[in-house]
Amino acid sequence: MVIAVIGDSHCSAEEAKLAETVGELLAQQGVTVICGGLTGVMEAVCRGAKSKGGLTIGILPGGDSSMANPWVDIPVVTGLGEARNVLVVKSAQAVIAIGGGYGTLSEIAYALRSGIPVIGLNTWSLSRHEREDNSIIGVQSATEAVDKAIALVKKHKVYEIASLRSQ
């Protein structure tokens, strides 16, 4: 299972702590972490995952691997700039958003467009045409975020298998 963790390259101490705990919990469940590979939330989640022996993938915007944080196991060098955002979320089965600016918002939008569930910790909320859009699943803690994300991936897989069988 691969879960993306997204958020800003500059983040508060509180967001970094959340991200690090999310990384630890994902690694403990055997989940591979994918992220944008840079600093802030991306670095904290990788550090947490590595502290528990997890595997981390960083989808880098730049043209070489020099900007990867030290806890990225597999730097994917894209040179695509911000267009790399779509790769971060499409390579995952679920997304956990922690805080985040407009880059994170673009990733949330891409995930929702692809039907990939988004769990939010103190992140964006959306209204479309004056009606609230509750697609981002708000949670209150790192544990809740990880449990919810894993549960949704498993549920989705069961549906997929069921749907294949009924064909």
Query: What does the binding site for a second copy look like in residue numbers (CB under 8 A)?
Result: 2, 32, 57, 59, 63-65, 74-83, 85-87, 90-91, 99-103, 105-106, 108-110, 112-114, 122-130
Nearer to a second copy, 46 or 59 (CB): 59
CA distance 16 to 147: 19
Nearer to a second copy, 28 or 122 (CB): 122
Nearer to a second copy, 112 or 137 (CB): 112
Quote the Cα angle for 143-93-12, to 5°: 45
- The distance in angstroms from the start CA to the end CA of the chain is 25
Nearer to a second copy, 130 or 162 (CB): 130
Min separation Cβ 76 and a second copy, Å = 5
Min separation Cβ 127 and a second copy, Å = 5
Min separation Cβ 46 and a second copy, Å = 15
CA separation, residue 122 to residues 7, 29, 99, 110, 115 (Å): 10, 23, 5, 19, 21
The answer to whether residues 77 and 62 touch, using CB atoms and an 8 Å cutoff, is yes
